[in-house]
Structure 1
Amino acid sequence: MSDEESGLPPDLDREAVRTALVEWYEDDHRDFPWRQTDDAYEILVSEVMSQQTQLGRVVDAWHAFLDEWPTVQDLASADRADVVAFWTSHSLGYNNRAKYLHEAARQVVEDYGGSFPQSPDELSELMGVGPYTANAVASFAFNNGDAVVDTNVKRVLHRAFAVPDDDSVFEDAASELMPDGQSRVWNNAIMELGGVACGKTPTCDESGCPWRQFCHAYETGDFTAPDVPTQPSFEGSRRQFRGRVVRTLSTYDELTLDSLGPRVRVDYAPDGEYGREWLRGLLSDLADDGLVDIDERDDELVVALQ
């Protein structure tokens, strides 16, 4: 691959760049528990939990989840409603992630004899496991991944080496820099750099950034970076009320619409703006995700967790 194709400066000392980053990471980094294991199941749980959730909040949930379901076999045989209820009670984001994680565990047990596939392509066949998560599990469990390219990595490459804001060029640059056969330590290290030293507000000197001597942004003072998508506000969102529905139904065997509604929002009024029609829309989405069952009895809708 030519320098132009990779987006990296032609005179960049790649070996020096690699050595500086890996040594910086191995000398001192955040000690998340999933970095102390190469168990693919434990790593998959951490990756799914970490999607749009602050890592500090994930630690307790990760430990509690593994206490409840220590192995992929335990999760595969669990009741899906219990998994979803756990997800909701720990505020881990969209509940369908819990459903997909449960389905992925079943696939591993039923289709792979309880042993995780090891390549990104095979891991992508698991329910709810996209290319990024598949690559992360392949990297951190099996040291068999490609270069990870997430928002943090893009920001680092753009600032440090003026890599153009283009997804394919970012992927080429990341692949060019990653040492062969070292996806585990490299991907952890470059994501740590983006999370610790090169965030939206960089802390180059304070964090001892190992790339200061190579960094275009550090040299020029221009720390602009590709746009970072913002998470929609949770308070008052549809996502929040979906979570309340699941949390409420985890307490009751089943509820009618008008019994469920006031438990989901205090201003519920059967014929009002936030009434039966609004609630049916939420429930329809949850039913499509395989999270709730909706039954009509005596001209009333009755809802329960699947």
Structure 2
Amino acid sequence: MSERDRADGSGSEDEHEDGDETWTLPDDLEAVREALVDWYEGDHRDFPWRRTDDPYEILVSEVMSQQTQLGRVVDAWAEFTERWPTTAALADADRADVVGFWTSHSLGYNNRAKYLHEAARQVEEEFDGAFPTSPDGLQELMGVGPYTANAVASFAFNNGDAVVDTNVKRVCYRAFDVPDDDAAFEAAANDLMPDGCSRVWNNAIMELGGVACQQTPRCDEVGCPWREWCSAYASGDFTAPDVPTQPAFEGSRRQFRGRVVGTLREYDELELDTLGHRIRVDYAPGGEYGREWLRGLLSDLEDDGLVTLETRAGETVASLRR
């Protein structure tokens, strides 16, 4: 993207280069920061995990939100944390129950439930019930990658770097002409964030992207606090980086993985063909969606530690791993 002209022609002395492009942040960064935080603290979406600094509750919200709209996560999060209110409670739970909860609430890949269960056990057994407080330390937990670790460190301990998600990239791209490059987005996000303020700042800038700077922007409607500095608002050019789309769920392997787990939770164990007929109406042992297809699905689930396969009297029997 070629750099768009700013409304006032001004720029920060902190100039960055990305290939043939340069971009700058506004000179009055303090005003930019104050405007965003004031806007966020004045009115924002009231998700329950924003009212806590409990790292367990925040981790659950982050894992659930990875593939699910936030509106749907609210009820699932409340039910999950009521049923398993601490890492100790989750660590003591039957994994099949945790995976079953995940499946019944359509929360995405079931291995995330398995990893969350394992992470709770790690906290209890390896960290004496206390979460690590830094992004690096949090990445030692099963299934916790750099983004989730940084989010938990930010929101639970106010000890993170700038969060860089799709919303933050869109904001930086439109407002400050940051090129579509991960390193550039990370540099810009960290330059924008005031020191020692990761909790409020990361919530605020993600809220800006999620509420005001959506794919179809709502600048005036929600009173975007960055309109006076924003290149896109000045030029009317609201292009943004391509947003990856989730593969269709209906008919996907992900859908049938969930059906396998849900069915085995109900029936405990099933022979291969019996399971196949229960998870899809067009199952035919020798057909396109037959034994070979089902074995591949079960093999993936076995690799993820969710399913156990046994051979009895020449028949394959599947059950949930306990």
For normalisation by structure 2, the TM-score amounts to: 0.93
1:10-25 map, 5 Å: 11-25=26-40
Query: 1:174, CA displacement in angstroms?
Result: 0.6
2:105 partner letter: H
Give the drift of 1:26.
0.1
1:66 counterpart residue number:
81
String of CA shifts for 1:249-280, please: whole Å, max 9, x gaps: 01012000111011110011111111111100
Task: Write the distance in 1 (CA, Å) between the matches of 2:24 and 2:287.
Answer: 61
Take 2:115 and 2:16, find their aligned partners in 1: how far apart are those partners? Answer: 40
Asked if the contact 1:8–1:173 (Cα under 8 Å) also holds between the matched residues in 2, the reply is: no
**Structure 2 match to 1:114:** 129
User: Which residue is equivalent to 1:168?
Assistant: 183
1:301 corresponds to = 316
Counterpart CA distance in 2 for 1:57 and 1:11 is: 37
Structure 1 stretch displaced more, 177-186 or 266-275: 266-275
State the AA in 2 paired with 1:280.
Answer: R
Identity, % of aligned pairs? 76
The answer as to whether partners of 2:14 and 2:24 remain within 8 angstroms in 1 is no
Q: Secondary structure at the residue paired with 1:174? A: helix
Alignment of 1:189-204 (within 5 A): 189-204=204-219
What's the offset of the Cα at 1:2?
Answer: 3.6
Deviations 1:93-118 (A, max 9, x none): 00000000001111111110000000
1:124 is aligned to 2:133: no
Give the 3-state SS of the residue equivalent to 1:251 in structure 2: helix
Structure-1 separation of matches of 2:14 and 2:183 = 14
- Counterpart among 208, 230, 234 of residue 223 in structure 2: 208
Once the two structures are superposed, residues 168-201 of structure 1 have per-residue CA deviations (whole angstroms, 9 ceiling, x without a partner) of: 1111111111010000000000000000000111
Runs (4 or more) in structure 1 with deviation over 2 Å come to 5-12
The separation in 2 between residues aligned to 1:209 and 1:189, in whole angstroms, is: 12
Relative to structure 1, the CA distance from residue 97 to residue 53 in structure 2 (aligned partners, 3 Å threshold; closer, same or farther) is same
1:217-262 deviation per Cα after TM superposition (whole angstroms, max 9, x unaligned): 0000000011110001000111000100000001012000111011
Correspondence for 1:103 among 103, 106, 118: 118
Q: For residues 211-222 of structure 1, what are the structure 2 equivalents within 5 Å?
A: 211-222=226-237
Q: Shift of residue 294 of structure 1? A: 0.2
SS of the aligned residue for 2:109 comes to: coil
Q: Which runs of 5+ in 1 are unaligned?
A: none
The equivalences for 1:255-294 within 5 A come to 255-294=270-309
| TM-score using structure 1 length | 0.98
Which residue matches 1:75? 90
- Alignment RMSD, CA only? 1.2
Which amino acid is the alignment partner of residue 186 of structure 1? W
Determine the structure 2 residue equivalent to 1:88.
Answer: 103
Count of matched residue positions in the alignment of Structure 1 and Structure 2: 306
Structure 2 residue runs without a partner (length 5+): 1-12
For residue 266 of structure 2, give the secondary structure of its aligned residue in structure 1.
coil
Show the counterpart of 1:238.
Answer: 253
